Chain A
Amino acid sequence: MADEIHVTDSLAAYALGCLEENEIRAVSEHLATCPLCRAELASYVELTAQLGRSVPQTEPPAGLKQSILARLQVSDAKIAAEQEPSWWERLRSRLQGSPTWAAASLVLILVLGFSNLLLWQQVRELQSGVPASQEQLKTVVLDGSAVAPGATGMIVISLDGMHGTLVVDELPVLDESHEYQLWLIEENEERTSGAVFSVSPDGYGSVWVGSPQPLISYAGFGVTIEPTGGSPQPTGERVLGGKL
């Protein structure tokens, strides 16, 4: 019980970390059930931080910040290299490891995207008389930028290149005043909006991609964060990008 014996006399030493192992265990157990001692401890924890802030101030070396930022990029690249599975490995992992509803929604997203495209191809096949099975759907993988290194995406493009479905995964959830916007990028760097979309709390999302010209004619694709409703041209940070 918390009210048996308080550990007040040990809290300063606990905050400093100078108790012995058996004392630490006893104090920790008491703290788990005693709000009074937890409040007392908080004041000593703050005091230890004040001790740290009182030392003579020394200016860090000039290049230290750049070294840290460079180390972050190396670290991110290393993590990406070690952990970067293929799209299908990611999908399989999701299906095996995520809650049922998450897997079901992802499957639904992909099935809907592919079935829409296949339906459109059947119409085209009937119109042209050319068997679509002799060709393949084009896909473009989008990689997360430094802003969203864990994010990934894919655009599945119909056989005639005029339609596509974008599926994204692990994008950060944005506030109500922002949405993601897909940009279709031409060789001359001109950008046309392809879609504006949001993601689920888990970072999943899919959207039909509209285009004034065949999607396969673009040099690449990018996704940026824009004010809700989208922008005429990119204004926010890029979160995904890929080349055809």
Chain B
Amino acid sequence: MDYSGLDDESLLRLIAFAKTDALSEFYDRYSRLVYSLAVFILDDPESAEEVTQDVFVRIWEKAETYRAEQAKVSTWLTSITRNRSIDVLRRRRVRPEGHRVGWDDAALETLPAADLPNPEDAADKFIQAQRVRVAITTLPHDQRQALALAYFGGYSHSEIAAALGEPLGTVKTRIRMAMQKLRSILQEDRLDV
């Protein structure tokens, strides 16, 4: 059976029936996303490899728990990857002051389109990622910094406030405003398409 023509939800249903070929196709579609996010959060290819393995094994074991009405497949997968990576980060006991991962200029540079099996899919993903990067460049540095610590480090408001030496209310406001602005920009982009 050719699984490449199936949508993500159908693939997950087949994975729930223990179809390894379906998981193989799912891996081809999403391994780059999972591995890239894990590498970015952990800054360590070896740990990212372990996280990627864990994520796909979890998909294999928990595919039947996916609910399409709650989130897109890629959203669900990104959430699992981020949470698993942050778990590893917490075990390392990295404090916010020592956390170097964030949206620096290099990370926000225009990147080549992903070399995925489906060129249209690759181009679409590239355009979406590029929109997000452009939106992030519009954030003030202090908002971007606080948001990066929350998203990539998994730190709480109070941990971020302590690390930055800022009042708790200030950090809460920065993160909230950053998220509101990003959402607004990306929603407008979607309407323009």
Tell me whether A149 and B18 are in contact (CB under 8 A).
Answer: yes
Q: Is A43 an interface residue (CB 8 A)?
A: yes
Across the interface, do A68 and B53 meet the contact criterion of CB distance under 8 Å?
Answer: yes
Please tell me if the beta carbons of B79 and A49 are within 8 angstroms of each other in the complex.
Answer: yes
Cβ distance B12 to chain A, nearest Cβ, rounded Å: 14
Residue of A nearest to B177 (CB): A12
Closest residue on chain B to residue A173 by CB atoms: B17
Of A19, A49, A58, A72, most B-chain CB atoms within 10 Å:
A49
| 22 pairs, CB–CB < 8 Å, chain A vs chain B | A12-B175, A13-B176, A16-B151, A17-B83, A19-B157, A46-B75, A47-B186, A49-B72, A51-B182, A52-B33, A52-B79, A52-B82, A53-B33, A53-B128, A53-B132, A54-B129, A54-B136, A55-B36, A57-B111, A58-B36, A60-B49, A68-B56
Least CB separation from B32: chain A residue: A57
Residues from chain A with a CB closer than 8 A to the CB of B133 are 54
Q: A44-B183, A69-B23 are in contact. Are A18 and B155 (CB under 8 A)?
A: yes
Q: Report A24 CB to chain B, min CB distance, Å.
A: 10
Looking at the complex, which one of A44, A58, A75, A150 makes contact with B32 (CB distance below 8 Å)? A58
Given contacts A47-B182, A49-B79, A55-B107, could you give 15 more A-B pairs where the C-beta distance is less than 8 Å?
A: A13-B175, A17-B83, A49-B72, A50-B186, A51-B132, A51-B151, A52-B33, A52-B79, A52-B82, A53-B33, A53-B37, A54-B129, A56-B107, A64-B49, A149-B18
Interface residues of A (CB under 8 A from B): 9, 12-13, 15-20, 42-61, 64-65, 67-69, 71-72, 75-76, 146-150, 172
Instruction: Classify the secondary structure of A's interface with B.
Output: helix
Give the complex CA separation of A18 and B154 in angstroms.
7
Q: Nearest CB to that of A17 among chain B residues?
A: B154
With contacts A20-B156, A54-B133 taken as known, whether A67 is within 8 angstroms of B35 at the C-beta atoms is no
A48 touches B53 (CB 8 A): no
Q: Is there contact, CB below 8 Å, between A52 and B81? A: yes
Min CB gap A88→B, angstroms: 25
Contacts of A75 in B (CB 8 A): 57, 60-61
Expressed in whole angstroms, the Cα–Cα distance for A172 and B133 within the complex equals 44
Question: Are the C-beta atoms of A13 and B31 separated by less than 8 Å?
Answer: no
Q: For residue B155, which residue of chain A has the nearest CB?
A: A18
